[in-house]
Amino acid sequence: MRLDDDLLREAKRHAAEKGMTLTALLDQALREILANRARTPEPDRIELPSFKGQGLQPGVSLDDAESLLDLMDGDDDPV
């Protein structure tokens, strides 16, 4: 395992201030993180609205914003 040098220095300093070993500090930190993860509820599922339309349009890439804007503006020639 390799820790960032600045992070390791800060952790050692914090452990010394608390009168702990670095190992004890890391154990405590990991326990707190894992305990919080267990208490964190799953986010509520969000229902997104859907709209009727003509479905996917040939020649329009969802990665091409210009083509999408042309389609929404009613231009007949998708790029």
Mean pLDDT of all residues in 14-41: 90
Q: What's the whole-number mean pLDDT along residues 43-50?
A: 82
Distances, alpha carbon 20 to alpha carbons 16, 25, 54, in Å? 6, 6, 65
pLDDT at 8 over 90: yes
**What's the whole-model pTM score?**
0.47
**Residues 22 and 12 sit within 8 Å (Cβ to Cβ):** yes
Q: Where are the domains of the chain?
A: 5-39
- Rounded (10°) angle between helices 22-39 and 5-18: 100
For 1-23, what is the mean pLDDT? 94
